[in-house]
């Protein structure tokens, strides 16, 4: 195994750990860490990539985004709500202390995040979402 693959493997494992912690703690975002994990595992080990793509966490958070270049509406909503709550808390705490420049930066990051998910990430229609789950398939 060459050095580049080892670096990808280490970064993938770290991001997997951080993403998993993010499932339980709203402070860390899960999806970006799992995207990096999928990318790194794909470049380091076919076995790890296959394992990761078979996990329920991958299927729940990333499968639709990676394969169809879009997200289910419920996933997008969950991401936007959690990011809004987390950034809103940070904004509130900094504004309370009168720290305005970081508040402005945080607000700009939130707006950019919101614009990206609303306008640039394709929303998979509910009809396709139901067909993926195997329920309510109309023929």
* Stretch 17-26: mean pLDDT: 81
Among all chains, which residue has been given the structure tokens 């900094």?
94
**Quick one: average pLDDT of 83-100?**
88
> So what's the pLDDT on residue 41?
92
Q: Would you say the pTM of this structure is higher than 0.85?
A: no
The ranges assigned to domains in the chain are: 1-61, 67-134
Give CA torsion, residues 22, 8, 61, 111, to 10 deg: 70
Return the exposure string of 83-108: e unless at least 16 CB atoms fall within 10 Å of the residue's CB, then b: beeebeeebeebeeeeeeeebeebee
């Amino acid at each position: 195994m060459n050095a580049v693959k080892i670096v990808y493997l280490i970064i993938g494992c770290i991001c997997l750990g951080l993403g998993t912690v993010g499932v339980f703690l709203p402070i860390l975002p899960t999806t970006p860490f799992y995207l990096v994990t999928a990318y790194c595992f794909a470049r380091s080990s076919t076995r790890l990539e296959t394992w990761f793509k078979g996990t329920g966490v991958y299927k729940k958070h990333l499968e639709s985004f990676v394969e169809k270049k879009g997200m289910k509406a419920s996933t997008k909503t969950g991401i936007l709500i959690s990011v809004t709550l987390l950034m809103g808390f940070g904004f509130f705490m900094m504004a309370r202390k009168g720290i305005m420049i970081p508040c402005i930066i945080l607000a700009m990051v939130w707006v950019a995040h919101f614009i990206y998910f609303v306008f640039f990430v394709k929303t998979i229609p509910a009809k396709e979402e139901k067909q993926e789950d195997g329920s309510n398939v109309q023929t």
